[in-house]
Amino acid sequence: MITAQTVKHQARQLGADLCGIAPVDRFERAPTGFHPRDIFPPARSVVVITKRVPEGPLHARSPIPYTVADHVVLAEVTRLTCELCDALERREHLCAVPVPSEPYEYWDAMNCEGVALLSLKHAAVLAGLGVMGKNTLLTNRQFGNRLCLGAALLDVDLPGDAIVDERLCPESCRLCIETCPVHAIGAETVSQKLCRGHSQGHTAKGDAIYVCHECRTICPNGKGTQMAVPA
Ligand code: B12
Ligand code: SF4
Ligand code: SF4
C-alpha cells in the first residue's frame, strides 16, 4: 500500500528539495472552481513539491540571470511534478494529476487578473511547507521565499503533514511592502495590475524578462540557511 514516505522518497529522487502532503479536506475554504476536486473530482490528497530558486541572480544588476534562473527552476518543477505522477501511477496503481503553475484559463482582461487552477501558495501552506509572508510569498525557515512550487493531485488518502504554526514576519517589518515601487502589496494580496505592469518587461529584441522582484529580494527570511534536508 502506498505511504506518505513512498511519495516523498520518490519526489526527492526526482529532484525535489521539499515535499509536503495535504488531505483535500483542508481546502474547504478554497474559492469555488479552484478546489482540488473542481480540477479532479476523485482527488483525496494534494502533494506539493518545491525546488529552491538560487539566491545569487536576485542580486545581479542585469535582469537576465534571474529571469533565466526562475524559468529553468519552474520548468524543472513542472517536469518533476509530471514525472512524479507518472512514477506513482506505474508503481502504485493510482491516478495522479499534475498541477502546473501556469497556464491558467481564468483571465480578467480589464483588471489584468489571472487565477490559476490551484493556488500553489495556499496548497503549500496546507501541506506544511511554510507560511505566507507579508509579501504574500510562501516562506519557510530553510529557504525563505526562494521557493518554486508545483503540485500533484492523487486519488488516494495519505496522512497530512503538520501545518506550520509560526509567524516568520516580525510585527514591525514592512520592508517588502515599502520597497515595492508601485505599492502593489496590500493586506492579504497583491494588485495584479500594478505588479504585472511594473515587473514584467521585455528586452529591446522583444524577449520577456522579469524587471522587478524587489519584494522577494529584500526579505531577510531564510537568507544563509539554504541547505536541503531529506524530504
Ligand atoms: C497569477 C500569479 C501572479 C500574479 C498575481 C500574484 C498573486 N498574489 O496571486 C502576479 C503577476 C502579480 C505575480 C507576481 C509574482 N509572482 Co506569481 N504567480 C501567479 C500564479 C501563476 C497564480 C496565482 C493565482 O492564481 N493568483 C490569483 C489570486 C486570486 O490569488 P490570491 O490572491 O493568492 O488568492 C485569494 C483567493 O483566491 C483565496 N484563495 C485562493 N486559493 C485558495 C485556497 C485556499 C485553501 C484558501 C483558504 C483561499 C484561497 O485567497 C486569496 C485571498 O483572497 C502562481 C502559481 C500558482 N499556480 O499558484 C504564481 C506564484 C504565486 N508566483 C510566484 C512568484 C515567484 C512571483 C513573483 C516573485 C515573480 C517575480 N516578479 O519575480 C511575483 C511576486 C509578487 C508577490 N509579492 O506576490 C511563485 C511564488 C513562490 C513563493 N515562494 O510563494 C508562484 C507560486 C509560482 C511558482 N510556481 O512558484 N504572480
Ligand atoms: S520583508 Fe519583512 S514583512 Fe516582508 S515578508 Fe520578509 S520578513 Fe515579512
Ligand atoms: S514583484 Fe515588484 S512590482 Fe511586483 S509586488 Fe514585488 S516589488 Fe511590487
pLDDT of residue 121: 98
pLDDT of residue 148: 98
Q: Is the CB of 190 under 6 A from ligand 3?
A: yes
pLDDT of residue 224: 62
Ligand nearest to the CA of 215: 3
Distance 207 CA to ligand 2 centre (A): 31
Distance 157 CA to ligand 1 centre (A): 27
Which of 41, 73, 60 minimizes the C-alpha distance to 143? 73
The two beta strands, 18-23 and 147-154, are: unpaired
Q: Is the CB of 213 under 6 A from ligand 3?
A: yes
The two beta strands, 147-154 and 138-139, are: unpaired
pLDDT of residue 188: 83
Whole-prediction pTM: 0.96
With a Cβ cut-off of 6 Å, ligand 2 is lined by 133-135, 169, 173-176, 218-219, 221
Which residue's CA is minimally distant from atom 4 of ligand 3?
A: 195
Distance 200 CA to ligand 3 centre (A): 10
Measured CA to CA, the distance from residue 154 to residue 19 in angstroms comes to 14
pLDDT of residue 1: 85
Ligand nearest to the CA of 210: 1
Q: Which mutation among 24, 177, 190 tests ligand 1's pocket best, with the greatest number of atoms within 8 A of CB?
A: 190
Q: Which residues, including other chains, have CB under 8 Å from residue 172's CB and lie 6 or more apart? A: none
* DSSP one-letter string for the chain: ---HHHHHHHHHHHT-SEEEEEEGGGGTTSPTT-SHHHH-TT--EEEEEEEEPPSGGGG-SSSHHHHHHHHHHHHHHHHHHHHHHHHHHHHH---EEEE-S---SEEETTTTEEE-SS-HHHHHHHTTS-EE-TTS-EEBTTTBT-EEEEEEEESS--PPPPPP----S-TT--HHHHH-TT--B-SSSB-HHHHHHHHEEE-TT--EEE---HHHHS--TTTT-------
117 CA closest ligand 1 atom index: 57
Residues of the chain falling short of pLDDT 50: 226-231
Q: Is the CB of 181 under 6 A from ligand 1?
A: no
